[in-house]
Structure 1
Amino acid sequence: MEYTQEITVNVPRARFVELFDDPANLAKWQEGLLSFEPLSGEPGQAGATSRLTFKRGRGTMVMVETITRRELPDLFEGTYDAKGVHNICRNEFQESGPGATRWVANNVFEFTGAMKIVGVLFGRSFPKSSYKYLEAFKAFAESESRS
């Protein structure tokens, strides 16, 4: 399953990238994030891996992020692996006039094992769920920039 989404954030690109790139900000816009733990490599750089733990319902979901490309301020790519799910995410950040940034996020999801059934049954909900993160970052970044 593959889809592309975009949103315009009313924050200059330099400030957008500064907020996006700071792990201390993740919990401010990623709902349910309980922890972010660097595992290997230089945090934030290509090749680095980190463990993200999210609260989901009554349980938790753990995923491993691997940064595959980091060409900021233009591009940030990573893979996100959880049990039965492999997500490839390409994020492009483009200047959108004075004081705004256009974020284009391309997601590819690959499912294995029992998660293939989840992908078929609930695949339509993935874009909606992903877009909530873009909207949450927009709200966070714009409120931080007004402060």
Structure 2
Amino acid sequence: MKYTTEIKIIKPRTEVIEKFSNPDNMKHWQRGFISMEPISGKLGEEGSKNMLKYKMGKRDIEMEEKIIKNDLPTQFHANYSAKGVYNIQENFFEETPEGNTLWISHSEFSFSGFMKLMGIFMPGAFRKQSYQYMKDFKDFVENNKSVLDKK
């Protein structure tokens, strides 16, 4: 399953990237985020790996992140693997003529086991989740609003 989501952030790209690239900010725009622990390599560098932990409803989810390309401020690509799900994420950050930022995200998911059913019967849930993260990030950057305040 492949799809593209995009959102315009009414802030300069330098400010957007500063907030996007700081792992301490993830808790402010990724609902359910608990922690990120380095596995190998230097944080943010291509080839480095991290373990991400989330709480989604009653489920605890762990996923491994591998940085594929970090050419910020223009692009950031990573692969994510969790039980039954593999995700390729390609993020592009473009400056608009008005001096704002357009965030374009290409997502590709593949599934195995039980998660294959989720991919078949609920493909919109993945797109919706991706776009929710983008909206929450936009709100964090533009208005300094954290998803932690929305609990």
Shared fold, TM over 0.5 = yes
Cα distance in 2 between the residues matched to 1:124 and 1:136:
18
After TM superposition, give the deviation of residue 97 of structure 1 in Å: 2.4
* Divergent runs of 4+, >6 A: none
Which residue is equivalent to 2:7?
A: 7
After TM superposition, give the deviation of residue 112 of structure 1 in Å: 1.3
After TM superposition, give the deviation of residue 34 of structure 1 in Å: 0.8
Cα distance in 1 between the residues matched to 2:59 and 2:69:
31
Asked if residue 120 in structure 1 is aligned to residue 120 in structure 2, the reply is yes
Which residue is equivalent to 1:60?
A: 60
Percent identity, please: 40
Structure 2 unaligned segments of length 5 or more: list them: 145-151
Which residue is equivalent to 1:82?
A: 82
After TM superposition, give the deviation of residue 143 of structure 1 in Å: 1.8
- 1:1-147 matches, within 5 Å, as 1-144=1-144
Cα distance in 1 between the residues matched to 2:127 and 2:111:
15
**Coordinate RMSD, CA, aligned:** 0.9
Cα distance in 1 between the residues matched to 2:76 and 2:41:
16
Alignment TM-score, normalising by the size of structure 2: 0.92
Alignment TM-score, normalising by the size of structure 1: 0.95
Output the amino acid matched with 2:88.
I
SS of residue matched to 2:98? coil
After TM superposition, give the deviation of residue 129 of structure 1 in Å: 1.1
Structure 1 unaligned segments of length 5 or more: list them: none
